Chains A and B, each alone.
Chain A
Amino acid sequence: MSFVSIQNLQKSYGASAVFNDINCEIGRGEFVTLLGPSGCGKSTLLRCIAGLTAVDSGRILLDGQDLVPQSPQKRGIGMVFQSYALFPNMSVEQNVAFGLRMQKIKGQDSRPRVLEALRMVELQDFASRYPHQLSGGQCQRVALARSLVTRPRVLLLDEPLSALDARIRKHLREQIRQIQRELGLTTIFVTHDQEEALTMSDRIFLMNQGRIVQSGDAESLYTAPVDAFAAGFIGNYNLLDAQSASRLLQRTVNSRLAIRPEAIALSLEGEREGLVRSHSLLGNVIRYRIEARGVELVVDVLNRSAADLHADGERVSLSIDPTALCEVA
Chain B
Amino acid sequence: MSRAESGPAGLYHRVVVYVLFVILLLPLAGTLLYSLSTSWSASLLPSGLTFKWYLALWSEPRFLAAFGQSLLVCVGALVLSVLLILPLLFVVHYHFPRLDALMNILILLPFAVPPVVSSVGLLQLYGSGPMAMVGTPWILIGCYFTVALPFMYRAITNNLQAINLRDLMDAAQLLGANTWQAAFLVVLPNLRKGLMVALLLSFSFLFGEFVFANLLVGTRYETLQVYLNNMRNSSGHFNSALVISYFLFVLVLTWAANRLNKDKT
Q: Which residues of A contact B (CB under 8 A)?
A: 50, 52, 71-73, 75, 77-79, 81, 83, 85-89, 98-99, 102-103, 130, 132-133, 143, 146-147, 150
Contact = CB atoms under 8 A, between A and B. Distances in A.
B175 A85 contact: no
B130 interface: no
A103 B168 CA distance: 18
A34 to B, nearest CB: 18
Contact of A85 (B164, B189, B263, B265): B164
A150 B163 CA distance: 24
A43 B83 CA distance: 35
Interface in B183-210: 185-186, 189-190, 192
21 contacts: A50-B170, A52-B173, A71-B173, A73-B176, A75-B174, A79-B171, A79-B174, A83-B167, A85-B164, A85-B171, A87-B186, A88-B163, A89-B186, A89-B189, A89-B264, A98-B172, A99-B176, A102-B176, A102-B181, A103-B176, A130-B264
Nearest to A82: B167
Given A87-B186, A87-B190, A89-B190, A81 B176 contact: no
A52 B172 contact: no
Contacts of B186: 87, 89
A81 B170 contact: yes
B192 to A, nearest CB: 8
Contacts of A52: 170, 173-174
B190 A72 contact: no
Interface string B158-169: 000001100110
Interface residues of B, number: 22
Interface of B: 163-164, 167-168, 170-178, 181, 185-186, 189-190, 192, 263-265
Contacts of B190: 87-89
B95 to A, nearest CB: 13
Nearest to B188: A89
A299 B173 CA distance: 50
B196 to A, nearest CB: 14
A102 B189 contact: no
Contacts of B167: 81, 83, 85
A88 B189 CA distance: 9
A77, A79, A102, A150, most chain B CB atoms within 10 A: A102
A87 B168 contact: yes
A50 B172 contact: no
A132 B190 CA distance: 13
Given A87-B190, A88-B163, A72 B173 contact: yes
A85 B170 contact: yes
A237 B100 CA distance: 46
A133 B175 CA distance: 23
Contact of B174 (A73, A88, A89, A133): A73
Contacts of B171: 79, 81, 85-87, 143, 146
B168 A150 contact: no
B170 A79 contact: yes
A80 to B, nearest CB: 9
A81 B192 CA distance: 24
A73 B170 contact: no
Contacts of A75: 174
B164 A83 contact: yes
Nearest to A152: B174
B174 A87 contact: no
Contact of B175 (A71, A88, A99): A99
Nearest to A81: B167
